[in-house]
């Protein structure tokens, strides 16, 4: 089922480069055939298998043999990892949009590297005096601050 990953990778690459569009179409055809329980006729799965196992054989022949024999299981494992990482990435994006941090509503905002640090200090904040923030020296965005 390596065709699923190839479809996504070549699909994204085909957006930016016309040279990858035939491979993306071939990968889409292979995935469609596999989903409908038919054999992939394009040979994309065989080419990907030989290319990946061939490069692995140069580095570790002992590891290449079981990967070649159980390539379908290995490819399903990678598809599962791919889907799992997509789910976690989607969850992180959702939490970032809704809760302003990557880990959810009860998480520490400092634990996410994407959390914006530019919090606006309002007029009721004791750090804002005369329209200027005492902490950072910038405008508090509140016009005339009340003490």
User: What are the helix and strand counts (H, E) for the chain?
Assistant: 5, 2
Report residue 5's pLDDT band, with 50, 70 and 90 as the boundaries. confident
Give tens-digit pLDDT for 106-117: 877 677 776 655
Q: Would you state the pLDDT for residue 34?
A: 82
What tokens were used for 28?
A: 């889409």
Task: Report the C-alpha gap between 29 and 52 in whole angstroms.
Answer: 20
Exposed / middle / buried, residue 125 (Cβ in 10 Å: 0-12, 13-18, 19+):
middle
Identify which has the larger pLDDT, 116 or 66.
Answer: 66
Task: Report the C-alpha gap between 66 and 57 in whole angstroms.
Answer: 11
Task: Report the C-alpha gap between 56 and 127 in whole angstroms.
Answer: 60
Q: Would you state the pLDDT for residue 143?
A: 46
């Amino acid at each position: 089922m390596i065709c699923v990953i190839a479809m996504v990778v070549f699909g994204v690459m085909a957006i930016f480069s016309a040279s990858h569009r035939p491979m993306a179409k071939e990968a889409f055809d292979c995935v469609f055939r596999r989903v409908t329980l038919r054999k992939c006729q394009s040979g994309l799965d065989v080419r990907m298998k030989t290319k990946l196992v061939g490069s692995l054989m140069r580095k570790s022949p002992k590891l290449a043999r079981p990967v070649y024999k159980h390539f379908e299981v290995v490819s399903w494992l990678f598809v599962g990892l791919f889907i799992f990482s997509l789910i976690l990435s989607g969850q992180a994006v959702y939490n970032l949009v809704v809760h302003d941090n990557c880990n959810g509503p009860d998480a520490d905002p400092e634990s996410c590297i994407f959390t914006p640090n530019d919090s606006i200090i309002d007029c009721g904040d004791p750090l804002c005096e005369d329209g200027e923030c005492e902490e950072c020296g910038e405008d508090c965005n509140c016009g005339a601050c009340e003490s």
